[in-house]
Amino acid sequence: MAVLRDFPYGNAQFQVEIDGLAQTAFAQVLLPELVIAVEEYRDGNSPVRTARKIPGLPSYSNLVLKRGFAGSLDLYQWWQMTMQGDDNFRRNMAVILLDEEGNPVARWLFNNAFPAHYTLSILDAMDGSELVECLELAFDSFQME
């Protein structure tokens, strides 16, 4: 699905789709870091005393979603379902990058995602900033298209 063009896309137009959640408008998405562990291996009969480096297991940092708190408890309730061991706490989801006309140009798919952290920003009468809720999601697998 990724649409190739001669200049980079902006990072301000995107949408988030989460199975089972109606309100999925977010102000910020921090996409995960993709890492392949490096393993060192040396054959027992190798004449060279150094190890070879080979690719190991892949791992992903968590996906982070942030939005202004507007009274909806859907993210907190999802975290609570996960904490209580509800059978339906895992959800598939997608983050979709949009072009200037609102057309999808790239899609990041996350399988079996669940909340790992739920936080709210500080309450500060001196500041008056927007209250922000942050949901950090762990997931089983990742795919980009």
Architecture per CATH, domain 14-31+61-144, reads as Roll (2.30)
With 90 as the cut, is the pLDDT of residue 83 above it? yes
Predicted local distance difference test score (pLDDT) of residue 16: 96
Unique residue bearing structure tokens 């907190």: 76
Q: What is the DSSP letter of 106?
A: E
Predicted local distance difference test score (pLDDT) of residue 104: 96
Predicted local distance difference test score (pLDDT) of residue 46: 83
pLDDT tens, position by position, 111-120: 999 999 999 9
Please tell me the pTM assigned to this model.
Answer: 0.89
Q: Tell me the domain boundaries of the chain.
A: 14-31+61-144
Q: Which residues contact residue 124 at a Cβ distance below 8 angstroms, ignoring those fewer than 6 apart?
A: none
With 90 as the cut, is the pLDDT of residue 23 above it? no
Predicted local distance difference test score (pLDDT) of residue 44: 83
* CA 66 to chain CA centroid, nearest Å: 11
Which of 139, 120, 131 shows the shortest CA–CA distance to 63? Answer: 139
- Name the average pLDDT for the chain: 94
Alpha-carbon distance of 106 to 3, in angstroms, equals 7
